[in-house]
């Protein structure tokens, strides 16, 4: 390799190191700006909230509580929790047969809100309005002397309507379980009105997408938009087309979730584009929670909530201390080994390990703030494993350089040719680690996913450090005479490379002759 080319390579190496260090400083500043100054800890480290959901067995519906329906509910609840950015939650089914229960454990102080959210059955119905009245009305007729009931309203429905007092909070608990094929009496969620509603014509399972949005004009506040599949679009279009021709209040379509009316808008024209909106003076959190519940479909069963318990983090704190000690000892042992074996070259390994550690810690802080990543014992184990991955990368590179020097090349040339040979090995080794991490993440649950995520993240960090810090730093050091002239403490002396011993053996052979 020519002297000019080596000089250019060393100049680029300095720029690369500078950019990496400045980037780390910049991300540190971003972390402080975002307030990401502490780690979000998982359930095993900081404790949290746990609740048990017991399937509600309605009269004549015991057969609905099957292993398949429980497993489906577990999958839906897990999706809802993950959609809120809550990592390392635990959702599992326990027991057998009709006695099976679902246990949900969520880390942190937000546990109670999430437990309230994930247990919703989310039975969404679109029902035409047959009659509407005040929350405590005693008849559907506006004129007490008029005994004629609106079309579709039977005396039995009228009697149920009169008996329901929607001003009482206990009558506005919802809970689903309504029969989609029959008319029902329902309160609105604010306790202002009550309705007689016709059988459902569009169902929640026909919704393909749900999103929370805010009205840019500021008139409607937060609302939820729904997109229907082909069947839902057709039925929603037919329903809205028909009710536009009817007198009030039968020109309204009620949006019913878990047995409560969220809104009952008047339909002014047919809606055939396959979309609908749910309005109702939502706050941002209410709109987001509702869209997340609807996005992943209805639970196949209704559930009664058991006792909500707080999980103590005391055991996790002791395990965390042990994990941190193990990680620190592992890092220290690798550093000591590198300095003793590679002498001056150990500067590179120490710098690489420290930089990788800083980047990993910054990543944990920023991801915790941005996507809710939580650090668990399993995640810490993944980070400890990463120490070995990073050490393996620079050892492969160092040994390649030493092989090149043994073959008679100058150190400056060996740094470049050794890198050409070593980087393929480094990439292949990290690719294997990344594949393992991805497989574990997508096919495992619970704490194993935390281990897989951390392992994958630190593998990427290892590639960044090796390519943009380790190799450039070795290139820069190679220009100093301490290293390229083979000082005894440089790691490139004849003794360190094993050249002296080989010469001694050869000389001894001549003398014996």
Instruction: For residue 224, count CB atoms less than 10 angstroms from its CB and return exposed for 0-12, middle for 13-18, buried for 19 or more.
Output: buried
Name residue 16's beta-bridge partners: none
Give kind and range of the element (H or E) at residue 303. Answer: strand 303-305
So what's the pLDDT on residue 39? 80
Structure tokens at 223: 């609302």
So what's the pLDDT on residue 184? 93
So what's the pLDDT on residue 504? 43
So what's the pLDDT on residue 113? 64
Q: Could you give the CA distance from residue 86 to residue 450 in angstroms, rounded to a whole number? A: 12
Phi, psi of 83 (to 5 degrees): -65, -20
Structure tokens at 414: 């060996």
The closest alpha carbon to 280, from 246, 259, 248, 254, belongs to 254
Q: Answer yes or no: are the C-beta atoms of 353 and 331 closer than 8 Å.
A: yes
Chain centre to alpha carbon of residue 363 = 15
So what's the pLDDT on residue 2? 58
So what's the pLDDT on residue 46? 72
Q: Answer yes or no: are the C-beta atoms of 104 and 89 closer than 8 Å.
A: yes
Q: Could you give the CA distance from residue 310 to residue 116 in angstroms, rounded to a whole number? A: 15
Tell if the pTM clears 0.95, that is, is over it.
Answer: no
Give kind and range of the element (H or E) at residue 79. Answer: helix 67-83
So what's the pLDDT on residue 147? 65
DSSP collapsed to 3 states, 151-180: CCCCHHHHHHHHHCCCCCHHHHCCCCCCCC
Give kind and range of the element (H or E) at residue 222. Answer: strand 222-228
437-441-445-449 Cα dihedral, nearest 10 degrees:
60
**Which residue in the block uniquely carries the two structure tokens 């307030």?**
35
Question: CA separation (Å) from 401 to 297, 299, 346?
Answer: 58, 60, 14
Provide DSSP, 41-57. Answer: B-HHHH-EEEEEEEE--
Q: What is the pLDDT along the chain (513 residues), one digit of tens a residue?
A: 556 666 677 788 889 999 999 999 999 999 889 888 888 777 777 777 777 888 876 655 555 677 777 887 887 777 777 666 555 677 888 877 667 788 887 776 555 566 666 656 667 889 999 999 999 988 876 554 456 788 889 999 999 999 999 999 888 876 655 678 899 999 998 889 999 999 999 988 888 888 888 888 767 788 888 899 999 999 999 999 999 999 999 999 998 887 888 888 888 889 899 888 877 778 888 788 778 767 766 677 777 777 777 766 655 667 677 777 887 888 888 888 888 888 888 888 889 988 998 999 999 989 888 877 778 878 888 888 888 888 888 888 988 888 888 888 888 888 888 898 898 999 999 999 999 989 988 887 666 788 888 889 999 999 999 999 999 998 888 888 888 777 888 777 777 776 654 444 444 444 443
Nearest 5°: CA angle at 249, between 248 and 252? Answer: 105
Q: Can you give the length of the chain in residues?
A: 513
CA atoms within 13 Å, Cβ hemisphere of 373: 26
Q: Answer yes or no: are the C-beta atoms of 161 and 185 closer than 8 Å.
A: yes
So what's the pLDDT on residue 206? 87
The closest alpha carbon to 193, from 143, 253, 150, 131, belongs to 131
Q: Could you give the CA distance from residue 226 to residue 209 in angstroms, rounded to a whole number? A: 6
Question: CA separation (Å) from 84 to 229, 426, 505?
Answer: 25, 36, 69
Count CB-CB contacts under 10 A for residue 239. 21
Q: Answer yes or no: are the C-beta atoms of 254 and 126 closer than 8 Å.
A: yes
Q: Could you give the CA distance from residue 490 to residue 512 in angstroms, rounded to a whole number? A: 34
**Which residue in the block uniquely carries the two structure tokens 């994990």?**
323
Q: Could you give the CA distance from residue 193 to residue 172 in angstroms, rounded to a whole number? A: 11
Q: Answer yes or no: are the C-beta atoms of 283 and 276 closer than 8 Å.
A: no
Q: Could you give the CA distance from residue 12 to residue 9 in angstroms, rounded to a whole number? A: 5
Q: Answer yes or no: are the C-beta atoms of 231 and 206 closer than 8 Å.
A: yes
So what's the pLDDT on residue 235? 94
Beta pairing class for 48-55 and 303-305: antiparallel
Question: CA separation (Å) from 102 to 74, 84, 95?
Answer: 7, 19, 9
Q: Answer yes or no: are the C-beta atoms of 369 and 35 closer than 8 Å.
A: yes
So what's the pLDDT on residue 131? 94
Residues in contact with 131: Cβ distance below 8 Å, sequence separation at least 6, in sequence order: 140, 150, 153, 161, 195, 196, 249
What's 469's DSSP letter? I
Tell whether omega for the bond before 501 is within 30 degrees of 0, i.e. cis: no
Structure tokens at 221: 């506040």
Q: Could you give the CA distance from residue 146 to residue 154 in angstroms, rounded to a whole number? A: 15
């Amino acid at each position: 390799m020519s002297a000019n080319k080596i000089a250019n390579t060393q100049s680029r190496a300095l720029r690369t190191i500078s950019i990496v260090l400045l980037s780390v400083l910049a991300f540190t500043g971003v972390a402080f700006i975002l307030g990401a100054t502490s780690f979000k800890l998982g359930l095993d480290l900081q404790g949290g909230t746990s609740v048990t959901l017991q399937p509600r067995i309605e009269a004549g519906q015991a057969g609905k509580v099957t292993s398949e329906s429980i497993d489906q509910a577990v999958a839906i609840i897990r999706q809802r929790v993950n959609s809120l950015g809550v990592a390392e939650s635990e959702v599992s089914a326990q027991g057998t047969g009709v006695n099976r229960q679902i246990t949900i454990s969520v880390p942190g102080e937000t546990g109670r809100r999430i437990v309230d959210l994930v247990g919703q059955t989310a039975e969404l119905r679109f029902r035409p309005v047959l009659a509407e009245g005040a929350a405590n009305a005693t008849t559907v007729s506006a004129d007490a002397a008029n005994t004629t009931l609106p079309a579709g309203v039977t005396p039995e429905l009228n009697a149920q309507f009169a008996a329901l007092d929607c001003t009482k909070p206990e009558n506005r608990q919802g809970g689903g379980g309504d029969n989609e094929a029959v008319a029902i009496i329902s309160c609105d969620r604010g306790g202002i009105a009550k309705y007689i509603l016709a059988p459902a014509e569009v169902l929640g399972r026909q919704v393909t997408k749900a999103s929370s949005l805010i009205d840019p004009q500021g008139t409607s506040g937060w609302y939820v938009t729904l997109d229907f599949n082909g069947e839902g679009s057709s039925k929603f279009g037919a329903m809205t087309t028909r009710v536009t021709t009817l007198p009030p209040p039968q020109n309204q379509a009620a949006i019913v979730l878990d047995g409560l009316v969220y809104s009952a808008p008047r339909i002014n024209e047919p809606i055939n584009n396959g979309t609908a909106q749910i309005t109702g003076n939502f706050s941002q959190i209410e709109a987001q929670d509702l869209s997340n519940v609807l996005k992943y479909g209805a639970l196949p069963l209704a559930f009664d909530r058991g006792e909500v318990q707080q999980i103590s983090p005391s055991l996790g704190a002791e395990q965390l201390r042990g994990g941190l000690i193990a990680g620190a000892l592992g890092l220290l042992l690798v550093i000591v080994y590198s300095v003793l074996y590679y002498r001056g070259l150990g500067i590179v390994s120490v710098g690489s390990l420290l930089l990788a550690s800083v980047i990993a810690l910054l990543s944990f802080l920023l991801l915790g703030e941005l996507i809710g990543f939580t650090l668990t014992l399993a995640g810490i184990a993944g980070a400890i494993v990463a120490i070995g991955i990073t050490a393996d990368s620079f050892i492969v590179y160092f040994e390649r350089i030493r092989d090149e020097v043994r073959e008679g090349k100058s150190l400056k040339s060996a740094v470049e040719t050794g890198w050409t040979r070593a980087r393929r090995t480094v990439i292949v080794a990290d690719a294997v680690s990344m594949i393992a991490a991805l497989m574990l993440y997508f096919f495992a649950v619970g704490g194993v996913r935390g281990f897989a995520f951390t392992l994958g993240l630190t593998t990427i960090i290892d590639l960044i450090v090796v390519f943009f810090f380790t190799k450039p730093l070795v290139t820069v050091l190679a220009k100093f005479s301490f290293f390229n002239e083979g000082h005894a403490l440089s790691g490139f002396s004849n003794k360190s490379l094993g050249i002296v011993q080989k010469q001694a053996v050869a000389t001894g052979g001549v003398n014996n002759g």
